[in-house]
């Protein structure tokens, strides 16, 4: 386990560094005018622009800029925002939005996991019957209908029928978060239901389940002690990744309900050429994805001790 952890840590650091380097170089390929705000472009002379670019190190050789960028990453110094919130530290800009997305993401993840797994179990218990067809129909519908259409339906029903706020409000966080959470959870519920059912049906067709039935083991005990436990092993690998990426924000849902979260931040930063915000967000998302994969492997090993992360040679 220790060898695996060290190896994965080194691989993760290299991966994040490569991703950050690519984004850094791509951002430096854009015209330097994007470094300035609209007012600065109109008011500053070319000499003044060059002076500011030189002071910021933007005119230094690309190798020097890259080494300086690596040093900032090591010191966790991500600079300040120039467009989203001019002059504010990037960490503060992201932190205020991350809190909103994290709260909604954790709630939607818990809701999705409980409801999705429960639906998958019910579909398995009632395989090829009405409830199974209803669950399959929901999964197909969620994946077939464009998200904006399903979000609009949730918005109309929630606001007109139940009187819920149609837009997010910091003055009424509780009620105004209900519709966005439901929308974020729609596809996740379908995902967990689909794969819970699929893995449980696979387990039910295995020989050891047939042997347990022949021995007279109760159906409930078979489902809980064997089928559900073994079916949950491959499913749990993806839960940490889904959790970490969910709390980092949902672009479409947050923009649809005007939630001041992380979702739209990256696209806004790219559109407005907020260099430091873009670089920091890319590093953050890459790190969350890599951490999620690692935690998924560990969780799978804990749930099923027969799974080994390393072989005798020390490789995964």
Domains of the chain, CATH where assigned: 90-303 (1.10.3720.10)
Q: Which long-range contacts (CB under 8 A, 24 or more apart) does 25-28 make?
A: 25/62, 25/66, 27/273, 27/275, 27/278, 27/279, 28/58, 28/62, 28/65
Whole-structure pTM value:
0.79
Token pair of 159, please?
């606001």
Q: Which pLDDT score, from 0 to 100, does residue 314 have? A: 46
Average pLDDT, the chain: 84
Residues 6 or more apart whose CB falls under 8 angstroms from that of 279 comprise 20, 23, 24, 27, 69, 78
pLDDT digits (tens, 9 = 90+) for 9-36: 888 888 888 988 998 888 888 777 667 7
pLDDT digits (tens, 9 = 90+) for 110-162: 999 999 999 999 998 888 899 999 999 999 999 899 888 999 999 999 999 99
Specify whether the CB–CB gap between 158 and 182 falls below 8 A. Answer: yes
Q: How far apart are CA 234 and CA 197, in angstroms?
A: 12
Q: How far apart are CA 269 and CA 292, in angstroms?
A: 25
Specify whether the CB–CB gap between 181 and 108 falls below 8 A. Answer: yes
Specify whether the CB–CB gap between 300 and 199 falls below 8 A. Answer: no
Q: How far apart are CA 298 and CA 294, in angstroms?
A: 6
pLDDT digits (tens, 9 = 90+) for 64-116: 888 988 888 888 888 888 778 877 899 988 888 888 888 888 899 899 999 99
- Reported as a pLDDT band with limits 50, 70 and 90, residue 178 is very high
Q: Is the pLDDT of residue 179 over 90?
A: yes
- Reported as a pLDDT band with limits 50, 70 and 90, residue 288 is confident
* Exposure string over 145-183, b if 16+ CB within 10 A, otherwise e: eeeeebbeebbeebeeeeebbeebeeeeeeebbebbbbb
Please name the residue that has the structure tokens 């706020």: 165
Neighbouring C-beta atoms of residue 68, cutoff 10 Å: 11
Specify whether the CB–CB gap between 244 and 289 falls below 8 A. Answer: yes
Higher pLDDT, 39 or 191: 191
Q: How far apart are CA 113 and CA 7, in angstroms?
A: 31
CA dist 42 → 88, 196, 314 (Å): 23, 58, 60
Q: What is the DSSP letter of 33?
A: G
Neighbouring C-beta atoms of residue 36, cutoff 10 Å: 19
Neighbouring C-beta atoms of residue 47, cutoff 10 Å: 8
């Amino acid at each position: 386990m220790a060898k695996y952890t060290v190896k994965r840590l080194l691989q993760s650091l290299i991966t994040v560094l490569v991703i950050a380097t690519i984004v850094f170089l791509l951002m430096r390929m854009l015209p330097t005018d994007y470094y300035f705000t609209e007012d600065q472009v109109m008011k500053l002379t070319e000499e003044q622009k060059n002076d500011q670019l030189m002071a910021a190190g933007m005119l230094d050789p690309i190798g020097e800029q890259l080494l300086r960028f690596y040093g900032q990453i090591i010191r966790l110094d991500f600079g300040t925002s120039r467009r989203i919130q001019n002059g504010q530290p990037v960490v503060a800009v992201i932190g205020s939005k991350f809190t909103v997305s994290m709260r909604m993401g954790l709630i939607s993840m818990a809701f999705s996991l409980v409801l999705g797994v429960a639906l998958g179990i019910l579909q398995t218990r009632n395989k090829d019957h009405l409830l199974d067809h209803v669950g399959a129909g929901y999964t197909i519908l969620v994946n077939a209908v464009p998200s904006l259409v399903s979000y609009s339906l949730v918005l109309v029903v929630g606001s007109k029928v139940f009187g819920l706020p149609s837009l997010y409000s910091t003055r009424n966080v509780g009620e105004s978060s209900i519709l966005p959470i439901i929308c974020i959870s729609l596809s996740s519920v379908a995902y967990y239901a689909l794969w819970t059912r699929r893995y449980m049906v696979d387990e039910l067709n295995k020989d050891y389940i047939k042997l347990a039935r022949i021995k007279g083991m109760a159906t409930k005990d078979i489902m809980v002690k064997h089928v559900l436990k073994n079916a949950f092993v491959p499913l749990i690998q993806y839960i940490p990744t889904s959790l970490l990426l969910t709390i980092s924000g949902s672009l479409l849902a947050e923009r649809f309900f005007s939630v001041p979260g992380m979702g739209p931040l990256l696209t806004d930063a790219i559109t407005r050429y907020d260099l430091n915000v873009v670089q920091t967000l890319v590093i953050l998302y890459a790190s969350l994805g890599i951490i999620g994969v690692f935690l998924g492997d560990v969780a799978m090993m804990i749930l099923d001790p027969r799974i080994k992360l390393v072989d005798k040679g020390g490789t995964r």
